[in-house]
């Protein structure tokens, strides 16, 4: 984020995958819950989107929302949308689930974007730098693994943003 962060300013985070019905809405729901639990809902805004437009307007895949629900996360308010170049004017962190999502976002990125565009798990300690694997064509275990990765990445991301908010940078 460029310049210093005023205490009225929000940090805006966008999670991106292919369909916006499995991985990125899981990150959206989990990170939003952590933000709320830490009393930071007025300082951090969370959203998610897909690089494809295949599922625009759809609820999250029930396999994702049910797995998240078993861990206490609510994804019922999330509807799929497609990422667009305007998102680079809105969001400070645009975080891709895998390398293909990241490459697609890099192709869309305007030259003047000065936020953070990276793999989401660059903020993870247990899965640092890995991709979140697409669970769509697999079994239930894949959705649990996504949640394990997303929870760890979210803790790291929240720590990073808390430091940013405290330092005003
Ligand atoms: P996501 O998973 O990118 O994590 O939302 C997928 C959802 C849908 C499809 C592929 C991946 N699809 O082929 O429709």
**Span 150-166, pLDDT tens digits:** 999 999 999 999 999 99
User: Is residue 49, in this structure, part of any structural domain at all?
Assistant: yes
Q: Give the distance (Å) from ligand 1 centre to CA of residue 146.
A: 13
User: Is residue 2, in this structure, part of any structural domain at all?
Assistant: no
User: Which ligand 1 atom sits nearest the alpha carbon of residue 20?
Assistant: 5
* Active-site residue list: 17, 23, 134
How many domains in the chain?
1
Considering only CA atoms, give the Rg of the chain: 15
DSSP 127: T
User: Which ligand 1 atom sits nearest the alpha carbon of residue 52?
Assistant: 3
Q: Give the distance (Å) from ligand 1 centre to CA of residue 38.
A: 30
User: Is residue 96, in this structure, part of any structural domain at all?
Assistant: yes
Please report which confidence band the pLDDT of residue 8 belongs to, taking 50, 70 and 90 as the band edges. Answer: confident
Q: Give the distance (Å) from ligand 1 centre to CA of residue 54.
A: 8
User: Is residue 1, in this structure, part of any structural domain at all?
Assistant: no
Over 70: is that where the pLDDT of 20 sits?
yes
User: Is residue 75, in this structure, part of any structural domain at all?
Assistant: yes
Over 90: is that where the pLDDT of 10 sits?
yes
Name the burial class of residue 20, with classes exposed (0-12), middle (13-18) and buried (19+) by CB atoms within 10 angstroms of its CB: buried
**Span 70-117, pLDDT tens digits:** 999 999 999 999 999 999 999 999 999 999 999 999 999 999 999 999
Domain of 16, in residue numbers: 11-167
What pLDDT shows up at residue 3?
55
What pLDDT shows up at residue 168?
87
**Is the shortest distance between the CB of 21 and ligand 1 below 6 Å?**
yes
**Span 29-77, pLDDT tens digits:** 999 999 999 999 999 999 999 999 999 999 999 999 999 999 999 999 9
Please report which confidence band the pLDDT of residue 13 belongs to, taking 50, 70 and 90 as the band edges. Answer: very high
User: Is residue 53, in this structure, part of any structural domain at all?
Assistant: yes
User: Is residue 112, in this structure, part of any structural domain at all?
Assistant: yes
User: Is residue 3, in this structure, part of any structural domain at all?
Assistant: no
**Span 120-147, pLDDT tens digits:** 999 999 999 999 999 999 999 999 999 9
Query: CA 38, 39, 43 angle in degrees (round to 5)?
Result: 110
Domain of 99, CATH number, reads 3.40.50.2300
User: Which ligand 1 atom sits nearest the alpha carbon of residue 18?
Assistant: 3
């Amino acid at each position: 984020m460029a310049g210093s962060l005023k205490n009225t300013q929000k940090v805006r985070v966008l999670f991106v995958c292919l369909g916006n019905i499995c991985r990125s809405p899981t990150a959206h729901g989990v990170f939003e819950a952590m933000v709320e639990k830490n009393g930071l809902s007025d300082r951090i805004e969370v959203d998610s989107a897909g690089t494809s437009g295949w599922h625009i307007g759809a609820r999250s895949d029930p396999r994702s929302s049910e797995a998240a629900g078993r861990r206490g996360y609510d994804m019922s308010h999330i509807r799929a949308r497609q990422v667009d170049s305007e998102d680079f004017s809105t969001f400070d962190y645009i975080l891709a689930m895998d390398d293909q999502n990241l490459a697609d976002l890099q192709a869309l990125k305007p030259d003047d974007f000065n936020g953070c565009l990276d793999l989401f798990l660059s903020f993870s300690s247990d899965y640092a730098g890995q991709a979140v694997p697409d669970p769509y064509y697999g079994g239930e275990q894949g959705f649990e693994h996504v949640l394990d990765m997303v929870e760890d990445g979210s803790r790291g991301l929240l720590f990073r943003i808390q430091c940013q908010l405290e330092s005003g940078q």
